[in-house]
Structure 1
Amino acid sequence: MEMNSFFKKLESEHFLPLYTVTSMEYLAKAENILKNNNLSFIEITYRSELASKAIKQLSESDELIVGAGTVRSLDTAKEAVENGAKFIVTPGFSDEIVTYCIEKNIPILPGTVTPSEIMRAQSYGLKVVKFFPANVYGGLDAVKSLSGPFSDIKFVPTGGVNKTNYQEFIENPNILAIGGSFILSEKAIIKDEGFSAEQSLAELVAPYAD
């Protein structure tokens, strides 16, 4: 998916679920829950050995846009793309990963928290950055302050965004979307009784549905 189209769609949906896979058993249910709530994106994190396998399985879906998160090396980025990842998310800023993604026309969300990192992202022509970990580096107040000198940058905060504060983040005009495992996680599905995980997700999404 072309970068501008990718970010426009993400902005329209507001939510970027982070999902760490420890068992392939629950992937089909995770996919169904997302589809039933009209969400297209899922970021599979490289925090388990099953990440590439899960990306490959989910990327076969015609409805999901599957990406890779916690990507800390160029080799991991390449492995993710080879297995079907359509976007890359990094916890910090990596020049070589950003360069690779731009050359391959793969949407990239690099992790940034400082003005210098944001300016580095701008030097590559990027207009959307991840803000992580949001809670440690000032949360919404920090985003508001950074939006002064960087009014042309959109942020995707993760880390510390949760069910009690996500609405404040989404309502900020400089925030393109929010990310987090609180949106949908394997743990939530495992604990699910009577589709409680799906109902919980529906409660988050409903106010922002088109």
Structure 2
Amino acid sequence: MAAATSAQPFRLGLTGGIGSGKSTVGMRLAQRGAALIDADAISRSLTAAGGAALPVIAQVFGNDLIAGDGALNRPRMRELVFANTQTRQQLESILHPLIAEQTRQQYAAAVATGCKLVVHDIPLLVESGRWRQDLDGVLVVDCRESTQVERVMARNGLSVDAVRSIMHAQASRAQRLAAADWVLYNDEGVTIEALDAFTDQIAAWFGL
């Protein structure tokens, strides 16, 4: 892993399966002074009403994928993506270049401010296979699959089958752990206070 120089921040990839607590870790690092670049947040902005990705999505998939409020019909698109690998790849081919461009812009802004640590919150970091070359290290937030299911059911009101369908579309726990330079274990018995304390230790390691 390359160390951050005085001119360039350390580029930390942050990932974890749904329900792992990855986003909580990312927000805590941001509170400690890291620049957080959230791929999901960028994707949501691209598919919100007036988002840059919507005209192409409508052209490729049809206007019924645009909801009444002018944003992406997320439930319908989720159904299509989970049912068909080709559909998911088509959607990714639309979103990924746009996400990459906004990521470059946000990274440049972080460099300009002299930020020591840039956290790239990337849910599908392992799956994409294209991010690793742009990162100096990868932090995986890990928990058991049964914990993921319990958390997402409680948080989103989804059924067991729906949660497992989402998990099936993601990399396996073993694949994420194999890609990790560091692992932050966030499972049963780890309180939010303990998770914050662990995250603060990581922030301090980067001088935040």
TM-score (norm. length: structure 2): 0.31
Bigger Cα Rg? 2
* Greater relative CO (CA pairs within 8 A, separation 6+): 2
Which protein has the bigger helix share?
2
TM-score (norm. length: structure 1): 0.31
